[in-house]
Every structure is written in structure tokens, then in C-alpha cells.
Structure 1
Amino acid sequence: MPDPSLFRLRVTFCKQGRLALLSHLELARALERAVRRARLPFAVSQGFSPHMKIAFGAALPVGVGGTRELFDLQMTRYVSPERALEALQAASVPDLMVKSCEYIDSHALAASAAFPVSAYRALLSCAPAQLAVPEGVMVIRKKKEKVLRVAEFLVGDMELTGATLAFSLESKPTGSLRPDVLLAACCAQANGDEEDRPLALFVENAEPTLIDADACGPDNPLRVITITRIGQRPVR
């Protein structure tokens, strides 16, 4: 039998609309079902609890969408990328649609390790004159409070254009800073809140042209409408 590690298919897909509200575990289950419906010859692990050999890219927080998400699938035999793409698209729903397929080297890094820098686009509820970035963000890990220094994770500057904010975060081997947590802290600071308010309401398929770009103020506090990961890349 051929070594299944020789047939490693990297799949690019989107996570959008209502399905942006899926947790990472729910997303993994949905994609595994799509692979089964597509009837691709996926490899299975050995042992008492065999499971599909599939590895996912960096996880997204609940409510954060993605336009170019990744997973790697090991298969027991070669299927052309074009045929695999057609089968997966037929087995996928629009808000979790597969965009492309390509084979990668069997020794290539996993997607989560190969592309540690994620680029995000956020749509805001109003257009702030400026947006200050806090020096630190308080998070709770293993029931303990910890302050993460934003400068250690933020790659480059935050670019504010009206009610649209673009920024990039790097995931470290020791941990990462979630985009929704960072933006919640930015909004709280901009609004002068002593405590963080809810991040935002989720707006399905929101576009920059649909966002009210009035100036922010006491009667129009800053909120995040949507956050979308628009790309992943290696560290330059």
C-alpha cells in the first residue's frame, strides 16, 4: 500500500456569513463531513480510536470569518487537484465553500506553523478620528490573569480608513493575541469605558459600503461589526 503521507492535499476554503459563528471544533466536524460526502480516499490513523488524517490551520475565534482558511488532508491515493476541488465544492455549503486544492510536500510544515502571520479586516460601527492601540491587553489563561504586550504580536501598524480597520497579528510558539480581544480593548479605550462592553452584534455579509461612517461620540460609541481574516503568510 502506498504511503498516505505522500498524498498531502492542502485545501483553501472560506468561513463566512452565519457559519463564522462556528467554533473551531464545530468547523472541524463540518469539514470532515464534507470530505466524507466528497468520497475522497482519506487516510485514517491507527490505534484504538482511528480518525481522519486532517490538520487545520490556525483557529479563528467564534464570530471571526476567514476568506482563505486552510486544512491539510492526507489521502491513500492520488486524486487530481481539479477533481478533488470539484468533489469538495459539490459537498460544501456556500458559507463554508472550498476555493482551491493543491498537493504539498509530505515534509512541509503544517499550515498553522508555516503561516504564523494573519491579516485581518474589521468593520467598525462608526468612523473614529483615530484609534489608539493599548500597550497591553488583559487575558485569562488557565484561570490566571495575564497581560499580553500588544507590540509583541502586532505586525506593522493598524491602518484605519473611515470605518474599516486593517491589521496583522503574529502567532507565537508560546501563544497568540486574539483579534477580537485586541479590538475589544481598543474600543473600550476609545469609548473611555472602565469595563469592556460587548464586542458587537454580528452582521451577516456586512460590507464597508453598508457601515454607518458617522463620527464616533458619546451617543455613537465605537463597536466592531465584523472581523475577517483575509490572509495568512510566513514571517518576513
Structure 2
Amino acid sequence: MSEPQQIFRLRLTFAKQGRLAMLSHLEVARALERTVRRAGLPYAVSQGFSPHMLIAFGAALPVGVGGTHEIADVRLTHYVSADKALSALQEASVADLMVKDCRYIEPKAAAASVAFPVSTYRALLSCTPAVIPLPDEIHVVRKKKEKVLHPAEFLVGDFQLTGAVATFKLEAKPTGSLRPDLLLR
């Protein structure tokens, strides 16, 4: 029986913006996997019938919503300095899906999807409203099942309106989350 291989967890912070904000979460995942491959990093692969890169992402953004501090964890089989990995990833990235930072985290650290449960959103509105009334509840239909969400349970702090720019924070719960586009709709 062989010795278990040591795995290093590299946490990436990247931006999804410009035209690439129109990518779905799955397309972003594929693009970042290709970036890691092009960068030549020694990524770990899963065992089994269909091996794939061991990479985990933070919360998914809706199509059309950009992000400046998105998170992904890549598992590496060999240590590469964070600066060298960042340089290689930036060379392999496109401007609108750019890796901005890399750092190693503990192997038992919380997953990217639960390590940062609160997200800050900034929405540029088409007009300057005097006030945006927040609904008491939002009805969401997914896979023919209706779910009632209460925005007050997900909103962290105040909903700020400065001219035509709305800024707010939403918390992802273990039971689910509220999409920012549904709140603004």
C-alpha cells in the first residue's frame, strides 16, 4: 500500500467582470480549470472512474452578475510558492476572469462556499429611485416547487441607496440563499 500523498490547498481570489460576467457558474468553473492547466500548476485529481481536477468554488453568481472577489480552492500535489502560482495564473488568465491573489490555507480549513457566508452587492440601477421598498416575502419556483423567502432573514445591515447605486449584503444560510437579482426585481 502506498503512502498517502500530501495535498496543498491554494485559495484563489479572482474577478469575473466585463463580458465574462455573462458566463454561468459551470462555464466559469471550466475556464478556471483551463487556467490552472495552462499555468502548469501540479493540481491534484480525484480517484475513480472519471478523474477530474480537485477544485472547489465559493457561492455561484447569477448569469450577468460580475464579482471582484470570488473564491476558489485548488488542491495541489506539490508546493509552489504563492507568488509563483499567482504569476503563472495571471499569465494564463484573461483580463475579465483574472486571478488577483493566491494563498495557502490549512487542509482542514472551511470550504470556500462556507468560509465566506456574507456577500456584498453593488447594483447600478437604470434610474434614480427615491426609495426601494423591500418586499416582506419573495416567492421562488424551482423545479415545480414553490419556496417563500423572507428578505429580512438574508439581509445583513442596511440596504443603502446612493443615487442610482444600491449597496447591500446578503448572507447565505445552510438552508439556502437569496439571489441578489430576485431581491432587486
Judge which range, 135-144 or 160-169, deviates more.
Answer: 135-144
Q: Over aligned residue pairs, what C-alpha RMSD do you find? A: 1.0
- Residues in 1 aligned to 2:97 and 2:136: alpha-carbon distance in whole angstroms: 35
Question: How big is each residue's C-alpha offset from its partner over 1:172-227, in whole Å with a ceiling of 9 and x where there is no partner?
Answer: 1111110011111xxxxxxxxxxxxxxxxxxxxxxxxxxxxxxxxxxxxxxxxxxx
In structure 2, give the amino acid aligned to 1:39: G
Q: Tell me the TM-score normalised to structure 1 length.
A: 0.76
- Residues in 1 aligned to 2:132 and 2:5: alpha-carbon distance in whole angstroms: 52
Counterparts in 2 of 1:212-227, with a 5 A limit? none
Question: How big is each residue's C-alpha offset from its partner over 1:16-59, in whole Å with a ceiling of 9 and x where there is no partner?
Answer: 00100100000000000000000100001100011101001111
- Residues in 1 aligned to 2:56 and 2:12: alpha-carbon distance in whole angstroms: 10
- Residues in 1 aligned to 2:143 and 2:117: alpha-carbon distance in whole angstroms: 23
Match of 1:42 in 2: 43
Match of 1:146 in 2: 147
Percent identity, aligned pairs only, is: 70
Question: How big is each residue's C-alpha offset from its partner over 1:136-167, in whole Å with a ceiling of 9 and x where there is no partner?
Answer: 11101231222211111111110000011100
- Runs (4+) off by over 2 Å: 1-5
Match of 1:92 in 2: 93
Give secondary structure in 2 for the equivalent of 1:96: coil
1:2 to partner: Cα distance:
6.4
1:126 to partner: Cα distance:
1.1
- Residues in 1 aligned to 2:118 and 2:90: alpha-carbon distance in whole angstroms: 27
- Residues in 1 aligned to 2:93 and 2:169: alpha-carbon distance in whole angstroms: 29
Question: How big is each residue's C-alpha offset from its partner over 1:72-94, in whole Å with a ceiling of 9 and x where there is no partner?
Answer: 01100100000000000000000
Question: How big is each residue's C-alpha offset from its partner over 1:96-145, in whole Å with a ceiling of 9 and x where there is no partner?
Answer: 00101000000000011111110100001111111111111110123122
- Residues in 2 aligned to 1:132 and 1:38: alpha-carbon distance in whole angstroms: 47
- Residues in 2 aligned to 1:115 and 1:4: alpha-carbon distance in whole angstroms: 26
Match of 2:137 in 1: 136
Match of 1:14 in 2: 15
- Residues in 2 aligned to 1:4 and 1:30: alpha-carbon distance in whole angstroms: 26
Question: In 2, are the aligned partners of 1:2 and 1:77 still within 8 Å (CA)?
Answer: no
Q: Which has the larger radius of gyration?
A: 1
Match of 2:64 in 1: 63
Counterparts in 2 of 1:101-180, with a 5 A limit? 101-180=102-181
Using a 3 Å threshold, how does the CA distance of structure 1 residues 111 and 23 change in structure 2: closer, same or farther? same
Give secondary structure in 2 for the equivalent of 1:67: strand
Counterparts in 2 of 1:74-93, with a 5 A limit? 74-93=75-94
| Count of aligned residue pairs for this structure pair | 183
Q: Give ranges in structure 2 of 5+ residues lacking alignment.
A: none
Q: Give ranges in structure 1 of 5+ residues lacking alignment.
A: 185-236
1:3 to partner: Cα distance:
2.9
Is 1:3 the counterpart of 2:2 in the alignment?
no
Q: Tell me the TM-score normalised to structure 2 length.
A: 0.96
Question: In 2, are the aligned partners of 1:2 and 1:76 still within 8 Å (CA)?
Answer: no
Give secondary structure in 1 for the equivalent of 2:96: helix
In structure 1, give the amino acid aligned to 2:149: L
